[in-house]
Amino acid sequence: MKYSAIITDIEGTTSRISFVTEVLFPYAARELPGFIRANLSDAAVAAALDACRALMQQADATVDAIIARLQQWIAEDQKITPLKALQGMVWQQGYQSGAFRGHLYQDAFATLTQWQQQGIKLYVYSSGSVQAQQLLFRYSDFGDVTPLFSGYFDTRVGAKRDISSYAAILQQLQLPPKQVLFLSDVTAELDAAKVLGIATVQLIRDGQSPSDHPAVSSFSQIEEL
């Protein structure tokens, strides 16, 4: 493996899409209203609500109006930073209570472990908040696998389809693009990384459309590329 660092997406890459869409998102839709109302004085919740008001362009939006808009954003799978922050806070309850565990494909766990043993630095870049990413890996099907990762990036670095996000990540990693491999199931994300010279591999887990990026159906096939 010729890379110094590998950055991986989560949904559709390390983890099953349906875990996000059929477990995490419905849990957040159900629990968010009560969570927000119970934690209005929490600084992180208050900051997320203010960020929602700014995005809604309604400085005086009520909590009920924000909750309605959050539900709409969840239904539309919008990758909006304050929504993702609130979802992460709510999912913490779900993981800690044992309502669900973070789905992780066996091949992803095994191969990430091998790469780390080879000295490759592993990073996560997901639209889910850093808190949500760490929860998924801390409470994963394979136990706490957070020691695998050297760092996490979320939409605070930029949207996953924007070239500038990958430039910001390279800047933080202090690595030339040729030494970095990015894994994702979404062609537009891979396209953005490739513009900068980052190597790309597409995961095709659930019948996603192939693209002109090298493609695999399992992490175990990546070594062979």
Ligand X SMILES: CSCCC(=O)C(=O)COP(=O)(O)O
Contacts with ligand X, residue ranges (CB under 6 A): 9-12, 20, 24, 79, 84, 87, 126-128, 132-133, 136, 160
Nearer to Mg ion, 11 or 107 (CB): 11
Per-residue binder mask for Mg ion (CB under 5 A), 167-186, x = binder: ------------------x-
- Under the criterion CB under 5 A, does residue 154 sit at the interface with Mg ion? no
Q: How far is the CB of 159 from ligand X (least distance, A)?
A: 10
Residue 24 binding result from Mg ion, ligand X, none, given CB thresholds of 5 to 8 Å by partner type? ligand X
Nearer to ligand X, 117 or 183 (CB): 183
Nearer to Mg ion, 9 or 107 (CB): 9
DSSP secondary structure letter of residue 210: P
Question: Which among 192, 196, 135 is positioned nearest to 159, based on CA atoms?
Answer: 192
Alpha carbons 211 and 184: distance in angstroms, whole number = 12
Q: How far is the CB of 23 from Mg ion (least distance, A)?
A: 16
Query: Do residues 101 and 140 make contact, with C-beta atoms less than 8 angstroms apart?
Result: yes
Residues 6+ apart with CB under 8 A from 225: 201, 214, 216
Question: Which among 6, 1, 14, 8 is positioned nearest to 177, based on CA atoms?
Answer: 6
Helix, strand or coil, per DSSP, at residue 8: strand
Residue 101 binding result from Mg ion, ligand X, none, given CB thresholds of 5 to 8 Å by partner type? none
By CB atoms closer than 10 A (0-12, 13-18, 19+), residue 147 is exposed
Nearer to ligand X, 124 or 167 (CB): 124
Using CB under 5 A, which of 12, 82, 88, 177 touches Mg ion? 12
